[in-house]
């Protein structure tokens, strides 16, 4: 009888990729994906909420009498959790269960997804005062370029969008003199039908070479640049490597050189020394930069980080500020999306109801049945409301090559 396993994944794209890596390797070695054997919980501890959800999944598996392995960030953050086996590294999970090293170096599937993540690096050399990730992700490691290129060749036939991801994507290759832009250039040369998207990048890691590569229609004109705060005072306390003024200046420079670029971001609410003036500075940044999407989240103190020493703001204050920012984000992103009314987008259909992301990361709802899951359609944006964007498929055809990003010449 085959050994049984099932996976429960919480957290970021790296965790999702690592879980699929474990899954495909166990299946290749004859294991059966089914409850009643080993429960593998790939846990997250970036916030208290994520840690709480991970604990809940562990206790649920233990109550069912299953053997439990905990992997991912949680396994390093709490290495001796009662009743479980803690193994941070995904390859060692496979080796522990099977006694064999993983046969597969990458992934080929991504169940229930129309886009596929490809992890290119792991680990973070940063020192943000609130963040536990550098401690729980281990040493910075970049995968070899050839290994990544082979994986992309293997998955492109089944996915129309490939998302490069990592714990700290912008430091890819630095251990051996490589760079993210060099990797992206090589990927673009081998892609035939799929488009390429970059996940989160730090603002100062967007180099000139990378900007030049946006002239390719294969590279999605979208950058997710975490802001965290619009207050230079708070950014300094967070130990972020830029000021608010620098952030604005760099985004303006990017817009000058890549005409149709879209920005999305993250903003933290309630970092302990934050005042109402700091919050207002973050709100001002929404209009200065013009983000299409903004993920807002409350500060969560993490054990072992410098920010743990700060006295937290009252929960009521954080809730009130969160609500203020939420309303400001709705207004500012609505203003940005309205600029796209009447424009034609390349939409990857990702849900049965007929919705998906455009190349510049606008979620667009189209008529139900307008396209098959995983198909890329040419869609005209016909309506923009405060919270949603709607479009109509043009001729029911897949996107042509006529809608391209325009790059201003470098002189």
pLDDT tens digit string along 232-276? 999 999 999 999 999 999 999 999 999 999 999 999 999 999 999
Question: Domain 108-220, what fold?
Answer: Transcription Regulator spoIIAA (3.30.750)
The pair phi, psi for residue 80, each rounded to 5°, is -125, 55
CATH code of the domain occupying 251-339:
3.30.750.200
Ranges of each domain in the chain:
4-98, 108-220, 251-339, 344-398
Q: Residue 190 has what pLDDT?
A: 97
Q: What are the Cα distances from residue 88, in Å, to 11, 50, 101, 171, 278? A: 14, 16, 15, 21, 37
Q: What are the Cα distances from residue 247, in Å, to 78, 204, 225, 288, 396? A: 35, 8, 9, 10, 40
335 has a pLDDT exceeding 90: yes
CB 229 within 8 A of CB 282: yes
CATH code of the domain occupying 4-98:
3.40.50.12160
Look-up of token digits 């990927």: 187
Share the mean pLDDT of the chain: 94
Fold match flag (108-220 vs 344-398)? no
- Residue 45, SS3? coil
Higher-scoring residue by pLDDT: 399, 57? 57
230 has a pLDDT exceeding 50: yes
Average pLDDT for residues 159-182, to the nearest whole number?
A: 97
Q: What is the pLDDT of residues 270-323, one digit of tens each?
A: 999 999 999 999 999 999 999 999 999 999 999 999 999 999 999 999 999 999
Question: What's this model's pTM, rounded to 2 decimal places?
Answer: 0.93
Q: Residue 407 has what pLDDT?
A: 38
Residues sharing a CB contact under 8 Å with residue 342, sequence separation 6 or more, in sequence order: 380, 381, 382
Q: Residue 22 has what pLDDT?
A: 98
Question: Domain 344-398, what fold?
Answer: OB fold (Dihydrolipoamide Acetyltransferase, E2P) (2.40.50)
409 has a pLDDT exceeding 70: no
Look-up of token digits 């709490």: 78
């Amino acid at each position: 009888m085959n050994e049984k396993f099932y996976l429960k994944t919480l957290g970021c794209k790296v965790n999702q990729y690592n879980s699929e890596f474990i899954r495909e390797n166990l299946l290749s070695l004859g294991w059966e994906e089914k409850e009643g054997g080993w429960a593998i919980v790939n846990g997250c501890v970036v916030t208290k909420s994520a840690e709480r959800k991970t604990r809940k999944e562990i206790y649920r598996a233990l109550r069912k009498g299953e053997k439990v392995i905990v992997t991912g960030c949680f396994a390093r953050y709490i290495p001796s959790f009662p009743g479980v086996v803690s193994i941070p590294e995904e390859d060692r999970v496979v080796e522990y269960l099977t006694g064999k090293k993983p046969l597969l170096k990458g992934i080929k599937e991504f169940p229930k997804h129309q886009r596929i993540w490809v992890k290119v690096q792991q680990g973070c050399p940063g020192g943000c005062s609130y963040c536990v990730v550098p401690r729980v992700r281990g040493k910075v490691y970049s995968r070899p370029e050839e290994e990544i290129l082979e994986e992309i060749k293997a998955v492109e036939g089944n996915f129309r969008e490939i998302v490069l991801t990592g714990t700290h994507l912008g430091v890819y290759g630095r251990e051996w003199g490589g760079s993210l832009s060099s990797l992206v250039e090589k990927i673009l040369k081998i892609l035939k039908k799929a488009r390429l998207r970059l996940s989160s990048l730090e603002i100062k890691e967007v180099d000139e070479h990378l900007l030049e590569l946006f002239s390719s229609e294969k590279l999605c004109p979208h950058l997710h640049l975490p802001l965290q705060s619009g207050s230079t005072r708070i950014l300094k306390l967070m130990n972020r490597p830029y000021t608010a003024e620098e952030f604005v200046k760099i985004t303006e420079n990017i817009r000058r050189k890549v005409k149709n670029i879209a920005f999305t971001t993250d903003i933290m609410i309630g970092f302990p020394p934050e005042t109402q003036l700091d919050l207002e500075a973050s709100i001002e940044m929404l209009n200065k930069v013009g983000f299409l999407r903004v993920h807002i989240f409350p500060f969560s103190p993490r054990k072992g980080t410098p920010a743990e020493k700060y006295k937290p703001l009252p929960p009521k204050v954080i809730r009130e500020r969160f609500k203020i920012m939420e309303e400001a984000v709705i207004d500012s992103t609505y203003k940005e999306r309205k600029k796209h009314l009447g424009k034609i987008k390349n939409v990857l259909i990702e849900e049965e109801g007929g919705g998906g992301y455009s190349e510049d990361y606008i979620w667009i709802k189209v008529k139900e049945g307008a396209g098959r899951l995983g198909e890329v359609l040419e869609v005209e944006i016909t309506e923009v409301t405060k919270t949603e964007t709607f479009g109509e498929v043009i001729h029911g055809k897949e996107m042509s090559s006529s809608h391209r990003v325009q790059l201003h010449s470098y002189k």
